[in-house]
Amino acid sequence: MHDYHKAKDMLDYAVEKAGELGKNKVTKVFITVGDASGYSADTIVMFFKEVSEGTICEDAEVVVTQVKSMLECPKCKEVFPRKLMEYNCPVCGTEGLPSKIGTEVTVEGIEAE
Ligand SMILES: [Zn+2]
């Protein structure tokens, strides 16, 4: 159910943004969804279509950028992609820790007319 609320938040943001720009029809919404965010991009897009009905975002295209989960080395601060069963830093071999990259779910911007 949290995907639904996220979609609603994104809709509110897009509507507000369009208002700031003095636009009354949103044609595209650009969103970023991290692999480690716990959200499904497909589900968010589906709910977005549902909650945007009757708003200025109705029929807007949702453009998703999927962000791969990244680990950060606690020793040398190298940020590297997380691979299956492999968590060690490619530079110094220290075990990486989860970084913030890959946990985001945000609206990057909108296109409106
Ligand atoms: Zn390292």
The pLDDT tens digits of the residues spanning 21-55 come to 999 999 999 999 999 999 999 999 999 999 999 99
Give the model's pLDDT for residue 85.
86
Cα 78 to middle of ligand 1, angstroms: 5
Does residue 95 surpass a pLDDT of 90?
A: yes
Cα 87 to middle of ligand 1, angstroms: 11
Give the model's pLDDT for residue 113.
92
Task: Give this prediction's pTM.
Answer: 0.85
Cα 66 to middle of ligand 1, angstroms: 25
For residues 90 and 101, give the distance between their C-alpha atoms in angstroms, rounded to a whole number. Answer: 17
Burial per residue of 35-62, b for 16 or more beta-carbon CB atoms within 10 angstroms, e otherwise: bbbebebeebbebbeebbeeebbeebeb
CATH class of 2-67+101-112: alpha beta
Cα 97 to middle of ligand 1, angstroms: 10
Cα 93 to middle of ligand 1, angstroms: 6
Cα 79 to middle of ligand 1, angstroms: 8
Residue, of 59 and 1, whose pLDDT is higher: 59
Per-residue pLDDT band for 1 (boundaries 50, 70, 90) equals low
